[in-house]
């Protein structure tokens, strides 16, 4: 028997659609931090300040000195499918930016109280808009702001209680935020980062240009023991370049917690890459132990599909077996090298 009371098909209000989309991109405060930092990097920022309160649940404020957003584009930046990074599917093939989906700000705005303040690099004034759970943001108001952008995200998930219940303690959430910032700080040495949690400064990284400075940053982020045991990786084959550092077999960990892999500047988690590293260490490290690594793979953007998942943590390689072989051989070569403490040269 069919129930007669069948609802009509309706288009969802955009706020609801954005809240649903947010479910895919924003799992916890660390996901907001990732999206905002990627936007700052895409805006060519060289200085980024991150303020966190209560693990990021109460406040995430990210200030950058990037090129900023034009007054007339502020509202657009908060709407879904609005981006200045691609304009066609072909652009995705040549992607140089971290973002491209035009979804993050709209999603974050739908599940928090968001303020966007920005001054475009050739405009005299800054402008700010605010949104808290309504369909429409406030109209842009003039504000004093240096060139660049400040995004403030308060009360994450305040209007999506089911999501909020999944949050852990402030301490745990901050741990995830800290780890995310660490990863991004390893992806770009030409940017300074400052991090405060509950008004305490926890990280202050200067721009690291010379090789020695890069290694110092790696040491600050991965610990002195890590850099006391590193081997340099530098390899080039068929348009692919691999650089960075791996640990000697004398250093190992019980968990894979010191492993960072970047593909064209993007932090990636990938089974193929993990497996290649395992394979390279096969004869020198017990299977129950994990090596540490900070590796940067550069290849033609057409050889890698970044549009696999909304969080952009996964990629697909067109020639996965060639990538695999290249990684295994390059890492085995470095492991055969007995000279530790050399400085590697990551790509950025």
Site residues (vs ligand ADP, CB under 6 A): 35, 39-40, 43, 64, 66, 68-69, 77, 82-85, 99-106, 149
| Nearer CB in complex with ligand ADP: 117/243 | 117
Binding mask 164-193 for Mg ion (x = CB under 5 A): ------------------------------
Number of H helices, E strands in the chain: 11, 15
**How far is residue 56's CA from residue 198's CA, in Å, rounded to a whole number?**
9
Minimum distance from residue 80 beta carbon to ligand ADP (Å): 8
Residue 231 touches which of Mg ion, ligand ADP, none (Cβ within 5-8 Å per kind) = none
Minimum distance from residue 277 beta carbon to ligand ADP (Å): 30
Please check whether residue 277 is in contact with residue 332, taking contact to mean a CB–CB distance below 8 angstroms. no
Does residue 115 interact with Mg ion by CB under 5 A? no
Stretch that binds Mg ion, among 100-108, 190-198, 220-228, 255-263 (CB under 5 A): 100-108
| Nearer CB in complex with ligand ADP: 99/140 | 99
**How far is residue 300's CA from residue 239's CA, in Å, rounded to a whole number?**
7
Minimum distance from residue 40 beta carbon to ligand ADP (Å): 5
**How far is residue 189's CA from residue 195's CA, in Å, rounded to a whole number?**
16
Binding mask 11-50 for Mg ion (x = CB under 5 A): ----------------------------x-----------
**CB-based closest residue to ligand ADP:** 99
**How far is residue 146's CA from residue 296's CA, in Å, rounded to a whole number?**
33
Q: What Cα–Cα distance (Å) separates residue 53 from each residue in 61, 159, 249?
A: 9, 19, 39
Q: Is 148 left (phi over 0), alpha (psi -120 to 50) or beta?
A: left
| Residue 141 DSSP SS3 | strand
Does residue 107 interact with Mg ion by CB under 5 A? no
> What phi, psi does 91 have (nearest 5°)?
-60, -30
Site residues, Mg ion (CB under 5 A): 39, 99, 104
């Amino acid at each position: 028997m069919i129930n007669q009371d069948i609802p009509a098909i309706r288009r969802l209000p955009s706020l609801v659609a954005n809240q649903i989309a947010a479910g895919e991109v924003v799992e916890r405060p660390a996901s907001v931090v990732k999206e905002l930092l990627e936007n700052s990097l895409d805006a060519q920022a060289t200085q980024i300040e991150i303020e966190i309160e209560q693990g990021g649940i109460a406040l995430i404020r990210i200030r950058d000195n990037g090129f900023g957003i034009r007054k007339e584009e502020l509202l657009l930046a908060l709407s879904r499918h609005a981006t200045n990074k691609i304009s066609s599917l072909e652009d995705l093939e040549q992607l140089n930016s971290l973002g491209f989906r035009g979804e993050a700000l709209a999603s974050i705005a739908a599940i928090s109280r968001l303020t966007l303040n920005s001054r475009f690099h050739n405009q005299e004034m800054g402008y700010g808009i605010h949104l808290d759970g309504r369909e429409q943001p406030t109209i842009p108001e003039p504000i004093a702001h240096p060139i660049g952008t400040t995004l403030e995200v308060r009360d994450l998930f305040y209007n999506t209680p089911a999501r909020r219940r999944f949050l852990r303690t402030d301490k745990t959430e901050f741990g995830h935020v800290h780890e995310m910032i660490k990863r991004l700080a390893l992806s770009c040495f030409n940017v300074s980062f400052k991090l405060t949690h509950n008004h305490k400064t926890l990280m202050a990284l200067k721009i690291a240009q010379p090789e020695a400075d890069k290694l110092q940053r790696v040491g600050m982020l991965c610990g002195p023991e890590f850099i006391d045991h590193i081997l340099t990786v530098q390899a080039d084959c068929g348009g692919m370049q691999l650089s960075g550092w791996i640990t000697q077999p004398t250093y190992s960990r019980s968990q894979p917690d010191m492993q960072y892999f970047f593909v064209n500047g993007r932090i990636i988690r990938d089974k193929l890459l993990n497996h290649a590293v395992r394979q390279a260490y096969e004869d020198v490290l017990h299977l129950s132990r994990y090596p540490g690594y900070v590796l940067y793979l550069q290849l033609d953007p057409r050889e890698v599909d970044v549009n696999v998942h909304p969080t952009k943590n996964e990629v697909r390689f067109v020639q996965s077996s060639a990538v695999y072989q290249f990684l295994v051989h390059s890492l085995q070569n470095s492991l055969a090298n007995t000279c530790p403490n050399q400085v590697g040269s990551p790509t950025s």
